[in-house]
């Protein structure tokens, strides 16, 4: 299992994505799975950077990655205010392309690519979200 702390900044995200990709590539992950992992990590970190409320200074995201028979298992822990991605309402699409805006669809994208297995509070005021990216 790979364990990382990911600073909530673009440079930290890119470095973590590269490290996760190298770990998974060495375990035979497909190009499609690697793409999904990179995109999911990007969305999760972007959401924390843009929308999360922290009780103090933002803490790095804790990430666990494991390649298994059922796919790529990701466990993400953050110190932000509780947010259960399984129960958040789906965003509404714009009435027309002219009304479209950038942003707001990241969670919907993540939900389409992964199975959100679990969300729960953990010790110290942290949140843990467990995801599975199917093989292939």
Which is nearest to 20 in space by CA: 64, 59, 57? 64
Which is nearest to 77 in space by CA: 107, 118, 39? 118
Give the CA count within 13 Å in the CB-facing half-sphere of 114: 30
How far apart are the C-alpha atoms of 12 and 104, rounded to whole Å? 22
For residue 102, what pLDDT is reported? 46
pLDDT, one tens digit for every residue, the chain (136 residues): 999 999 998 888 999 999 999 999 999 999 999 999 999 999 888 888 888 899 888 899 999 999 988 899 999 999 999 988 888 776 655 455 555 444 555 566 676 778 889 999 999 899 999 999 988 6
Q: Is the pTM of this model over 0.85?
A: no
Tell me whether strands 2-6 and 126-133 are parallel, antiparallel or unpaired. unpaired
* Cα dihedral: 76, 81, 87, 93 (round 10): -100
- Relative orientation angle of helices 31-51 and 106-113, to the nearest 10 degrees: 150
């Amino acid at each position: 299992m790979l364990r990382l702390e990911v600073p909530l900044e673009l440079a930290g995200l890119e470095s973590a994505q590269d490290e996760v990709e190298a770990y998974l590539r060495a375990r035979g992950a497909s190009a499609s799975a690697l793409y999904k992992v990179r995109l999911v990590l990007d969305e999760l970190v972007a959401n924390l950077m843009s929308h999360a409320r922290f009780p103090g200074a933002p803490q790095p995201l804790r990430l666990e990655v494991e390649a298994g028979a059922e796919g790529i298992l990701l466990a993400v822990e953050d110190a932000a205010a509780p947010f259960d991605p399984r129960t958040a309402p789906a965003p509404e699409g714009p009435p027309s392309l002219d009304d479209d805006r950038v942003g707001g669809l990241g969670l919907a994208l993540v939900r389409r690519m992964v199975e959100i297995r679990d969300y729960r509070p953990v010790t110290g005021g942290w949140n843990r979200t467990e995801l599975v990216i199917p093989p292939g």
